[in-house]
Every structure is written in C-alpha cells, then in structure tokens.
Amino acid sequence: MGGSVLGRSVREGRQIKSAPSAVGKELRPTRGPAWLLFRAPGALILWWRYYFAKPGNIALSARQKGNPVMEVGFSLFFWGGIFFTLFLVLVGDR
C-alpha cells in the first residue's frame, strides 16, 4: 500500500508539493524599461550561444541561458564595448 491518495503519500503521511512554476517570470519587468534595455543584449547573446552552441558546449550554454547574473555580465561587456568604441571614434586622432 505505497500509492498516493489526493496528493498525499500514504506511507510517509506528508503532502507532495509541486515545484513553483517559472513560466512567464522573464517577461515581467520589475525594474522598468531602462533595466530591460540594459539586460537585452546579454539575453540575446546567451540565446544565440544556446541555440547555436558548438558540440560539447550545449550543457554550459543551457545553464547560462536565462540566468540573470550571466545576462547582466554579458550586457556589461556589450555596453562597455559600445561606449569604448564611441569614445575611440569621438576622441580618436586628436
């Protein structure tokens, strides 16, 4: 008699809980449009790396995709490169 009845484990007497759903959490802007614009390049880069991963790198790119820390890190490199390039263009040859 080890089955479950109405979401309760008969043997253990505990209720079995399901994991909370993460569906749609990425689409909720909690910090405003400027934050989403800042994070967008990182999310796109990680998406690109996930869908066009080289053989052997799929597990790494799957762990990184959708990770907010990785998105912010890649966004920092992206925006830093943009500002550095603009700086060189505007200040160069002086």
CA distance 87 to 66: 31
The string of pLDDT tens digits covering residues 19-35 is: 555 545 555 556 788 88
In sequence order, the β-bridge partners of residue 9 are 4
- Sign of the torsion angle spanned by Cα atoms 60, 65, 70, 74: positive
Residue 48: both structure tokens together: 């690109």
The string of pLDDT tens digits covering residues 42-51 is: 989 888 888 8
The DSSP code sequence of 12-38 is T--B--PPPP-TTGGG--SS-HHHHHH
